[in-house]
Structure 1
Amino acid sequence: MEELSDFPDGTFHQDMGSPKQALENFITESSKECLVFTIKFCEAFLNSDISEQEKESFIKSNSEIYFPAIELTPIQWLEKVITQIKETL
């Protein structure tokens, strides 16, 4: 899961402004290969045998997002991020 933690930890940190802006910056500044790898790692994580609670805890602990404010659970948020990245490819 180390590969995955680098993405939210490095993108959605305390200096990001907003999660939406942070994602837009990540997409703009990343190579196509990086975006493909990010999708791959995120999907593998979501499809893994880890419990929903462990997944949510992992996402929360590796990002500076206040999920109640965006009205999504951490898993819903990550699924949305994957979709948004795919749309740019």
Structure 2
Amino acid sequence: MYNSYDYLEELEDFLGGTFHQDIGSPEQALNEFINEVSKECLLSTIKDCEKFLNSNLTKQEKESFIQNNAEVYFPAIELTPLQWLNKLVQQMKEAVKTK
């Protein structure tokens, strides 16, 4: 049977839908996402992020994917795209504890 679930597509939707050009800041956008979604959605997003971070893509491919899907100016936040995504995962994991 064909499995239509694609974690990369889900991750693209999360990054593009949450971190777009109209956000005040990446931190504010993440807080809004955490406050608006269910615990199940948060857990699913964490799972997709971790699957991506642990995938066989090269570091450069991962960094490019994040940069292409999130409207974040990484030099301003002084993190690489991968450091930033790892930080998001940790923040979401903390948020799950209180949902």
Question: Shared topology, TM-score over 0.5?
Answer: yes
Unaligned runs of 5+ in 1: none
Output the CA distance in 2 between the equivalents of 1:63 and 1:39.
16
The TM-score with structure 2 as length reference comes to 0.89
The ranges of structure 1 where at least 4 consecutive aligned residues each deviate by more than 3 angstroms after the TM superposition are: none
Cross-structure match for 1:56: 63
1:14-67: CA deviation from partner (whole Å, max 9, x where unpaired): 001100000000000010010000000000000000000000000000010000
Output the CA distance in 2 between the equivalents of 1:4 and 1:22.
15
The structure that has the greater radius of gyration is: 2
The TM-score with structure 1 as length reference comes to 0.99
CA-based RMSD of the aligned residues comes to 0.4
Aligned positions, number: 89
Output the CA distance in 1 between the equivalents of 2:64 and 2:50.
17
Percent identity between the aligned chains?
66
Unaligned runs of 5+ in 2: 1-7
